[in-house]
Amino acid sequence: MSAMPRSDSLLRVRDLTLAFGGVRAIAGLSLDVHAGEVLAIIGPNGAGKTSMLNAITRVFDVSGGEILFKGQDLARVPRHRIARHGIARTFQNIELFDAASVMDNLLLGRHRFAHGRWWQQVLRTPAVTRMEEDARAQAEAIIEFLDLSAWRNAAVASLPYGVRKVVELGRALCTRPELLFLDEPASGLNPEETRELAFWIDDIRSDLGITVVMVEHDMSLVSAVADRVICMAQGAVLSEGTPAQVQRDPAVIAAYLGI
Ligand SMILES: Nc1ncnc2c1ncn2[C@@H]1O[C@H](COP(=O)(O)OP(=O)(O)O)[C@@H](O)[C@H]1O
Ligand SMILES: [Mg+2]
């Protein structure tokens, strides 16, 4: 039997492997995410960072290893139930419903709570009405929190890229996650938008109490918000420490230079 996980270990990954044909995207990855931290995952392109998020959020079945969230084996949880377990994510390429408004995209994020019984839905019982009102109130709170009021009724397709990234963040927050994964949140943002993102991430952790794991290349953002950094290379952990420690680790420098 394995030892008890550390009491503050929200997510525990052990000896994870994930292969696509002959490519071992993840090769013996072990790491812990501690409750309440902002953890940054860095590493060169192809290191397996997105694959790790896909494995944890059940986009792909892993070929080996263990993923425990609050002691529960996520390998047994189907993809559509991941949100209900308190895990949310954003995508490296934004995934939103472009034709729908900001509000509607956020309400879709809340969908996991709209699981009244079918007859309640058909008869529109007070319980269903309450759930819908609650969903709207939650979406309004997130719109306020992320300063999106000006865009509430705009179609996502009409929004500047930076705003779409914030909407995607909002949609993830609407599921009221305990653990939030962000895949390259600063990519495509200008320096000012990146600084703003650092404030959102800080607030998400301190005001909403959400644990954040962020895959990110921008070391200014990583240094500004991360408590801890893990550098991945070739599907496994190469280095771990504070942002400053990991940045000056010769193994990390070599991995980025491809030597
Ligand atoms: N859906 C997929 N099908 C085939 N190969 C994939 C797929 N996703 C990722 N890979 C491969 O897995 C490796 C890790 O990729 P990825 O996880 O995207 O890395 P990162 O996010 O660190 O840049 C790469 O060699 C990539 O080509
Ligand atoms: Mg990636």
Q: What is the pLDDT of residues 1-42, one digit of tens each?
A: 444 444 579 999 999 999 998 899 999 999 999 999 999 999
pLDDT, position 2 = 44
95-99, 108-112, 203-207: least confidently modelled range: 108-112
Q: What is the pLDDT of residues 107-119, one digit of tens each?
A: 987 655 455 566 6
For residue 232, which atom of ligand 1 is closest to its CA?
Answer: 22
CB-facing half-sphere around the CA of 68: CA atoms within 13 A: 19
36 CA → ligand 1 middle, Å: 28
Does ligand 1 have an atom closer than 6 angstroms to the CB of 46?
yes
Q: What pLDDT band is residue 257 in, cutting at 50, 70 and 90?
A: confident
For residue 21, which atom of ligand 1 is closest to its CA?
Answer: 4
pLDDT, position 7 = 54
pLDDT, position 122 = 65
pLDDT, position 4 = 47
Residue 133 clears pLDDT 90, i.e. is over it: no
Other beta carbons less than 10 A from residue 92's beta carbon: 14
Q: Which two tokens stand for residue 66?
A: 């263990």
150 CA → ligand 1 middle, Å: 37
Average pLDDT value for residue range 235-250:
96
Mean per-residue pLDDT over the chain, rounded: 90
Helix axes 161-173, 191-206, angle to 10 degrees: 10
For residue 60, which atom of ligand 1 is closest to its CA?
Answer: 1
| pTM of the predicted structure, to 2 decimals | 0.90
91 CA → ligand 2 middle, Å: 9
| Residue with tokens 């409750």, as numbered in its chain | 35
104 burial via Cβ count (<10 Å: 0-12, 13-18, 19+): middle
Q: What is the pLDDT of residues 206-233, one digit of tens each?
A: 999 999 999 999 999 999 999 999 999 9
Does ligand 1 have an atom closer than 6 angstroms to the CB of 93?
no
Identity at 86, one-letter amino acid code: G
Average pLDDT value for residue range 93-105:
91
48-62, 97-111, 136-150, 156-170: least confidently modelled range: 97-111
- Answer for the pair 92, 187: CB distance below 8 angstroms, yes or no: yes
Residue 47: nearest ligand to its CA? Answer: 1
Does ligand 1 have an atom closer than 6 angstroms to the CB of 57?
no
The Cα–Cα gap between 173 and 208 comes to 9
Q: What is the pLDDT of residues 161-193, one digit of tens each?
A: 999 999 999 999 998 999 999 999 999 999 999
Residue 127 clears pLDDT 90, i.e. is over it: no
Does ligand 1 have an atom closer than 6 angstroms to the CB of 54?
no
Q: What is the pLDDT of residues 46-73, one digit of tens each?
A: 999 999 999 999 999 988 999 999 999 9
**Residue 39's beta-bridge partner residues?**
213, 228
pLDDT, position 94 = 86
Does ligand 1 have an atom closer than 6 angstroms to the CB of 47?
yes
pLDDT, position 45 = 95
Task: Please choose, from the candidates 76, 48, 56, the residue with its C-alpha nearest in 3D space to the C-alpha of residue 177.
Answer: 56
